[in-house]
Structure 1
């Protein structure tokens, strides 16, 4: 295959990933019209349409999806191989893109980055907060962070934190009007402040246990958010009960601004893991990032 054909296919992959000629042209540093001509040239050479175009969107056809599935990983491996040459330099460098949930970012990632970035100023870490189960390959992230048990089996998973204690809490003002539940079944008599999960569009279930049995319970309520900071604000305002990481409410419990209920019915959640595709090449900056986060029991 000629070098110009490889360059054309690389351009197609970028357009297919971005689903936009405008964004792809910006990423490649070339004119949108030139990029459009390249894609047309590939389609003419192959004799098949690879992209469906409208005035508002661009999407791969079935043939385009098949070609993207084959070429995308190959080109990302090539990028990784080139990035790995950074080992020959004195300082690890480059940008590491991470998708993570808010709690892991606040309690694990940001504190760890203080150590990493002070010693390695040429590394940039970009974090995107997302409660959905992101496809790190399709969305061009280097890695993601999720609870153990929520990670696809074809990913490398590295534990980065201990199990997470959870708590069901309410403000004293709320619990004066709504007596604290004595058992999980009484939660249905209460108002909940909930977290919506974007991937499934469902409300996050509260994990509860009764003896050796563990279940997920969903409780109706007046407020639904996609961030735990807003849930915490709402529970402090007395809108209902909330299911939150214990470390995020411990200070409020100590000062009496919140009260904990059903403490014996909330099992710890599995610890956070960093997950990423099993590629042959990774940059020295990424390997250093992984080792910085790796959880080591004391």
Structure 2
């Protein structure tokens, strides 16, 4: 592959990832008009249109989707190889791409930015906070945080904390008006606030443990959110019942704004893990990030 070929394909991958010539041009450090010329040259060389363009949107054609599916993982691997070669020295430096769900980012990373950058000033963290189920390797991330139940078998996993638990909560006003559920089956008669995981078409089913097994309940109610913090805000205002991480709702319970419900049915499950692909030569920046978060957790 000639250097120009790779530059064209890298430009294509950036436009495909961003769905925008303007944002892709910003990432590549060129003008949008120059990027458009590069893509037109690539399409002319391949003899096929890769994007459908309108004044408002940019979308991949079928040919573009197939090229993106094959080339993006290859490009991520090449970029990772270059970063690995450049960062195998003792001093951690360079770019580290991180993927975290919002709850994990708030718990582990948000309070520690200052300490990490004081310890590793040469490392640039590129953090994506996203609750969608994401293949971190295919998407080009170096490291991610996952619940234990979602770990992939071929990943290195480092435990970041203890077990987690989700509980049902409601405002005192809601309980006065609507009563208290006694079993998970009672939720079918209550106004529940649903959560849809980003990237998923279905609604999350609330999970409980009883009689030696896990089971789920499909609830219904007046509100569906993609961010669980919105569900908690709505629950405080008496909209309905919400279901979220116990650690995050305990301060609101202590303040009298929420009440815990169905606690006997809410069992703990494996907590958060830092995970990354097995590597022959671990990036110095990744090693520093892993060691830092392990030290942060052990110091709490």
TM over 0.5: yes
Aligned residue number for residue 49 of structure 1: 48
1:155-170 matches, cutoff 5 A: 156-170=156-170
Gaps of 5+ in 2: none
Cα shift at 1:284: 1.6
Distance 1:156 1:14, change over 3 A: farther
Alpha-carbon distance, 1:255 to partner: 4.4
Write the distance in 1 (CA, Å) between the matches of 2:97 and 2:216.
32
The answer to whether the 8 Å contact 1:80/1:283 transfers is no
TM-score (norm 2): 0.82
Deviation track 1:6-33 (CA, whole Å, cap 9, x = no partner) reads 3333333333333333332222222333
Higher deviation after alignment, 179-188 or 222-231: 222-231
Q: CA deviation at 1:125?
A: 2.9
1:14/1:154 CA distance change after superposition, 3 Å: farther
The aligned counterpart of 1:103 is 103
**Structure 1: tracts of 5 or more residues without a match:** none
Match of 1:132 in 2: 132
Structure 1 pair 190–118 and aligned structure 2 pair: CA distance change class (3 A): same
TM-score for both structures, normalised by structure 1: 0.83
Following superposition of structure 1 onto structure 2, how do residues 286-297 of structure 1 map, counting pairs within 5 Å? 286-294=286-294
Distance 1:292 1:50, change over 3 A: farther
Q: Cα distance 1:16–1:183, how it changes in 2: closer, same or farther (>3 A)? A: closer
Deviations 1:243-298 (A, max 9, x none): 12111122333344432222110122331233445566663212321333357799
* Kept in 1: contact 2:89–2:284 (CA 8 A): no
Q: How far did 1:205 drift? A: 1.6
1:60-111 CA distance string (max 9 Å, x none): 4444444334433333233223323134374x23343433222212222324
Q: Residue 181 of structure 2 contacts residue 187 of structure 2 at CA under 8 Å; is this kept in 1?
A: yes
Return 241-250 or 57-66, whichever deviates more.
57-66
